[in-house]
Structure 1
Amino acid sequence: MSTAPRPTARPVGFAILSILLGVVGWFASFELLTEYIKTLQSPSHVPNCNISVLVTCGPNMGSWQGSILGFSNTIIGVSAFVAPIAIGVALLAGARFNAWFWRLYQLGLLGGFVLVCWLQYQSVFVLGTLCPWCMVAWVAMIPLWWSGLAHPYATGAIPLSLRGRRFFRSLNSWIWVIVLVNFFIVAAIAQFQLNWFAEFTRG
């Protein structure tokens, strides 16, 4: 009889979530990139995300905030959202990553989350607009960050003390509550500043 250790269960839920959120974020970034290119080709082009004066992506794409590295932020999104898709697929295939890999991935997620928070601030308080495709990318990035923060510690992929692991297991069980609170805070700030609810209910 074999005495080889029994492999731990694959994190199917986390993997599928990573893939789905990565696809959503990638698609939103791709749509923005496509509209940005069309605008460059034809300045008279009206992007498909220009719904109203408040809900529009034109000012965002044309602002310096939309190209903080000297090129369109959409290129960052199209490139970066591939990572959670690839990691999710690898996990479903049975891949196991070392602690240093998860820390590197978390660093990337943190960078994406900070960028999204900064763009939210710029959209609401500086540009005064809500870009539909940007908001879709935000919806993908926020749960990617919170789930990616807790999962490696909760599962032991990044070693911790017993007390630390228990804390992250508890945190992991509350992830969707944290995500919903994060969404609510963003929506509430946008409502107080821009009164977006009146825009959507105006008939």
Structure 2
Amino acid sequence: MEITNDSSPRAVSRTAEGRVAAGRAFAWLLVLGGGAGLIASWGITLDKIKLLYDPNYTPGCSINSVVSCSDIMASDQASVFGFPNSMLGLVAYGIVVCVGVSLLAGGRFRRWYWLTLHAGTLFGIGFCTWLQFESLYRINAVCLWCCLAWIATTVLFWYMTSFNFRHGVLPVPGWVKVFFSEFAWALPVLHIGIIAILILVRWWDFWTS
């Protein structure tokens, strides 16, 4: 068994049975990222419930005609699967937090477990990307809670991808491992920066008026 005491996100332990354990930094990233998404989902869910009781209720994150959670919550896109998207977030982000806590407790997981978690983050980033397009170009509004969930999902996806690449859960060329070992932070920063630029450009006249 090979064990590393490195606390960076690159730290990993692999047992003879093929189970892999991440370092504490990566575990905390899952806990904090999942927690941020959980808070966003909980905030949206509470506001949605209040809107059901009182159609005239204005969520605290509805600031103006652009930053308007009310418009987002009232849209068809907010309930793609027949129930509020935030309820899906409560489950998904809760799972991520549980995985992070399990790693902090010394948990080690087999390859299929990491691949399943990676698939979940891939679905999450794909779903968020679609919601971002709908929000900017169909609903014509953004939600601050949603933005928090988008950021959390983006960070979780790229660091989960980095983890699986660097530790052989997904086979990739050596240069890919080196890139993700040194610049794992770059892709989530670039991704979030692009989203911010799209939001800025979409309502440029509004922001500058």
Counterpart of 1:111 (choices 123, 126, 132) is 123
Q: 1:114-167: CA deviations, max 9, x gaps?
A: 0110010011111111101000111111010000111023124x163xx63552
Q: Which runs of 5+ in 2 are unaligned?
A: 6-21
The alignment partner of 1:45 has SS state of: coil
**Residue in structure 2 matched with residue 69 of structure 1 by the alignment:** 81
2:59 aligns with 47
2:198 to 184, 189, 192: 189
Which among 24, 32, 57 is matched to residue 44 of structure 2?
A: 32
Cα RMSD over matched residues?
A: 1.8
Shift of 1:173: 2.5
The TM-score with structure 2 as length reference comes to 0.86
CA distance in 1, matches of 2:57, 2:204: 28
What code does the residue aligned with 1:150 have? Answer: S
Contact kept, 8 Å, 1:154 with 1:166, in 2: the verdict is: no
Distance 1:101 1:63, change over 3 A: same
DSSP 3-state at the match of 2:27 = helix
For the residue of structure 2 that corresponds to 1:48, the secondary structure is coil
Residue 164 of structure 1: aligned partner: 173
Q: CA deviation at 1:184?
A: 1.3
What's 1:120 paired with? 132
CA distance in 2, matches of 1:125, 1:66: 15
So what's the TM-score if we normalise by structure 1? Answer: 0.88
2:109 is matched with 97
Of residues 170-179 and 45-54 in structure 1, the stretch that sits farther from structure 2 once superposed is 170-179
Q: Which residue of 2 aligns with 1:87?
A: 99
Candidates 114, 119, 137, aligned match of 2:149 = 137
Partner Cα distance (1:159, 1:136) in 2? 28
Instruction: Point out the structure with the larger helix share.
Output: 1
Give the drift of 1:197: 7.4
Deviation at 1:105, TM superposition (A): 0.7
Which consecutive segments of 4 or more residues in structure 1 shift more than 4 A? none
SS at match of 2:173: helix
Q: Secondary structure at the match of 1:50?
A: coil
How far apart, in 2, do the equivalents of 1:182 and 1:91 lie? 27
Q: 2:194 matched to 1:198?
A: no
5+ residue gaps in structure 1? none
Counterpart position of 1:152: 164
How many positions carry a matched residue from both structures?
A: 193
Distance apart, 1:178 and its partner CA: 1.0
Identity %: 30
Q: Is the 8 A contact 1:54 1:128 kept in 2?
A: yes
